[in-house]
Amino acid sequence: MKKILIQLDGDRFASVFDAITAYDAGVDRILQYSGVRPEDVRNLVYGAMFTRGGDDLRSSAVFIGGSDVSHGAEMMKAAVESFFGPIRVSVMMDANGCNTTAAAAVRKIVAAGQVRGKKTVVMGGTGPVGMRAAAMLAGEGVRVILTSRSQERSEKACAMVKERFGAEVTPAEVRNSEDVKGILKGAYAALCTGAAGITLLSESIWLEHPDLRVLADVNAVPPLGIENTKPHWDGNEVAGKIIFGALGIGGLKMKIHRRSLVRLFEQNDLALDAEEIYDIGKAVENE
């Protein structure tokens, strides 16, 4: 029985990246749907639920993507609400790569040192990757500070992390170098999840920092989030710090993405969102 993935994407053109990745993960056929709205999801998911039956339900699955993460989250909700008891198919949400990227970045940080119980700063953390990474770190027993240039936005993001993931994260406003220095005082790790092409951590700060042990950056577009590092660094040591660039994280991200797709077809009742994808990250990081 062919493994069929229904790709639901809110963008005008369903992601080429997501489709190629799915084929490379062993999916046999993809049905691509572009411009999907949350209210369209139920009918499309029904088409997967009511065609094959019994054990064969595991050979159909749904992938939810697109560049807009909150749109993707709404589609995920609509998909899960479409199911009737055991009549369901597995579904994965990774709009804009948010879950796989956050999971990969956090797994890199966790595996690199002894972050549990220590202070970690998620810089520029109000976006989907930052909020997810903050929640995943908190789940590992890390004391997480989530920063933004605006106190209001960082508070709002922390509230959303609390509501969506049940995780306690502390907001902080960071507007200049002095703020950065202040917030990093006593920090063991820092993760930059700001917008592409914006430097959040200058070399003069991280290079001389007495406590920082692990640095990670998901921005691959110059200028990078962490000044004078390289996107391909994958745990490189510089001045006693272990550093991960976006491409270094990207390798693990792809593994997590592909493994998640493989998992979709092993049973018919998975709903892979941040938490589940993070667990998959734990399972694959050493393979």
Among 32, 151, 202, 236, binds a copy of itself (CB under 8 A): 32
Residue of the chain from 25, 30, 246, 252 that contacts a copy of itself (CB under 8 A): 30
Give yes or no for residue 268 binding a copy of itself (CB under 8 A). no
DSSP annotation string for 219-272? --SSSPSBTT--TT-EEEEETTEEEE-HHHHHHHHHHHHHHHHHHHTT-S--EE
Is the Cβ–Cβ distance between 41 and 81 less than 8 Å? no
The window from 12-20, 75-83, 145-153, 161-169 that contacts a copy of itself (CB under 8 A) reads 12-20
Beta-sheet strand order (sheet of 234-238): 170-173, 143-148, 119-123, 187-192, 214-217, 241-244, 234-238
Among 10, 19, 93, 105, binds a copy of itself (CB under 8 A): 19
6 binds a copy of itself (CB under 8 A): yes
CB nearer a copy of itself, residue 21 or residue 126: 21
- Residue of 9, 39, 42, 48 interacting with a copy of itself (CB under 8 A): 48
Measured from the CB atom, the residue of 1 and 159 that comes closer to a copy of itself is 1
Q: What is the DSSP letter of 213?
A: -
Q: Break the chain down into helix, strand, coil percent, rounded to 5.
A: 45, 20, 35
Instruction: For 205, list phi and psi in degrees, rounded to 5.
Output: -85, -50
Three-class secondary structure assignment of 136-157: HHHHCCCEEEEEECCHHHHHHH
What's the min distance (Å) between Cβ of 193 and a copy of itself? 19
| Residue 1 interacts with a copy of itself (CB under 8 A): yes or no | yes
Closer residue to a copy of itself, CB minimum distance, 20 or 195: 20
Size of residue set near a copy of itself by CB under 8 A: 31
Which residue matches tokens 């990969």? 104
CA atoms lying within 13 Å on the CB side of residue 177: 7
21 counts as binding a copy of itself under rule CB under 8 A: yes
* Binding of a copy of itself by 260 (CB under 8 A): no
Does residue number 51 form part of the binding site for a copy of itself (CB under 8 A)?
yes
Confirm if 190 and 215 have CB atoms less than 8 A apart.
Answer: yes
236 binds a copy of itself (CB under 8 A): no
The residues binding a copy of itself (CB under 8 A) are: 1-2, 4, 6, 12-13, 15-21, 23-24, 29-33, 36, 40, 43-44, 46-48, 50-52, 60
